[in-house]
Homo-oligomer: A and B are copies of this chain.
Amino acid sequence: MSVDPYMRYTIKKHGQKGQPIQGFVTGKILKSKHADWSEGDLFGANLPFSTVQQVTDCGSFQNLTGYVEESQLSLGLGIFGLTGCTAYAAFDLMQVTEKDTVWVADCCGAVGSVAGQLAKNVKKCKQVVGTCGNDLKCAVAKERFGYDAVFNCHEGVLLDKIKALAPTGIDFCLELVGGTEHLSAAVESMAPHGRIALGGAISGYNLTQPDKTEWKLDVTLNEMTILFHQIKLEGFKAMPWLSGERGSFLEDMHAWYKAGLIKPEETVVEGMNKWPEAFAMLFQTGNEHHVGKVVVEV
């Protein structure tokens, strides 16, 4: 079972007492009457959480057979799942190349751990800067995830530190934190024609919202900078890439994984009853234990 930040929204909006939470899972087909699926096939899907269940519609299922072994099924939630695909989608959407100086905020989570390696090892980007919420995570990101430079976003002035590291400007920013400090720093640190892919806003999901239908995170930006520097800011979701509608995610990521260019990083929590704890870890800034993709093993 996966824990993903967006679920803070879906649980609050659609969750019902007594009903199972729905989210991404990986599993094995036990029995099948469907022509496309056989006993023993491995899959990823968005389903109500349950150890065993009967499914009539598997239109949104990903077939992971051949991409992962049964013992590595959790990778279907990470590098081969929604979070790996979020990194993949951002780089495809913004056509990131070796000419780009990249900033990933935040760099040590499920998406950031893939994004750094994608930037450095696959796209061979000019410079890869990462930020995250504590020093231990910074060290891990620098050591394992391909980042050239990483710093703690809670220390000093974010914009000043980014500008000092990338004086000619950021060409591509994968922004996952949200809020004025981060998004404005992204806008103000951009080189001309810089692109900001907004793939998440972890700082805002847990704010108290006026009601279930409104989901608000006000940010203040200087519109003149966006205009004069010809900056692109785009919100995106990974689904079109995860479903195969855009790009060739599973094939590409599998090839990079096999070549050792993308190495998975997981934090595994054992037991279904630990799901709430695992979920809460995503929103704890300064949590030293949450690195890479958090999964719950049942």
Point out residues on A near B: beta carbons under 8 Å.
178-179, 183, 198-201, 204, 215-224, 226-237
8 A-B pairs besides A230-B235, A232-B233 with CB distance below 8 A are: A178-B223, A200-B227, A215-B224, A219-B220, A221-B221, A226-B233, A232-B232, A232-B235
A128–B183 Cα distance when bound, in Å, is: 31
Q: Is the CB of B234 within 8 A of A224?
A: no
Q: Of the candidates B179, B183, B223, B232, which one forms a contact with A217 in the assembled complex, judged by CB atoms under 8 Å apart?
A: B223
Highest count of chain B CB atoms <10 Å: which of A199, A217, A220, A226: A226
Residues of the B chain whose Cβ atoms lie less than 8 Å from the Cβ of A200: 227
Q: Is the CB of B237 within 8 A of A223?
A: no
Q: Of the candidates B183, B222, B224, which one forms a contact with A223 in the assembled complex, judged by CB atoms under 8 Å apart?
A: B183
Q: Is the CB of B227 within 8 A of A218?
A: no
A231–B233 Cα distance when bound, in Å, is: 8
A222–B178 Cα distance when bound, in Å, is: 10
Q: Is the CB of B220 within 8 A of A218?
A: yes
Closest A-B pairs by Cβ, 6 of them:
A227-B235, A226-B235, A232-B234, A217-B223, A215-B224, A233-B233
Q: Of the candidates B220, B222, B236, which one forms a contact with A230 in the assembled complex, judged by CB atoms under 8 Å apart?
A: B236
A179–B226 Cα distance when bound, in Å, is: 12
Q: Is the CB of B223 within 8 A of A219?
A: yes
Q: Is the CB of A223 within 8 A of B236?
A: no
A221–B233 Cα distance when bound, in Å, is: 12
Residues of the B chain whose Cβ atoms lie less than 8 Å from the Cβ of A221: 218-219, 221
Q: Is the CB of B231 within 8 A of A234?
A: yes
> Contacts A215-B228, A228-B235, A234-B232; is A220 near B223 (CB within 8 Å)?
no
* Chain B minimum-CB-distance residue to A237: B230
* Chain B minimum-CB-distance residue to A231: B235
Q: Of the candidates B216, B224, B233, B236, which one forms a contact with A222 in the assembled complex, judged by CB atoms under 8 Å apart?
A: B216
Q: Is the CB of A223 within 8 A of B218?
A: yes
Residues of the B chain whose Cβ atoms lie less than 8 Å from the Cβ of A204: 223-224
26 residue pairs from A and B, CB less than 8 Å apart: A178-B223, A178-B227, A198-B226, A198-B227, A200-B227, A201-B224, A201-B227, A204-B223, A204-B224, A217-B223, A217-B224, A218-B220, A219-B222, A220-B220, A221-B221, A227-B235, A230-B234, A230-B235, A230-B236, A230-B237, A231-B234, A231-B235, A232-B232, A232-B235, A233-B233, A233-B234
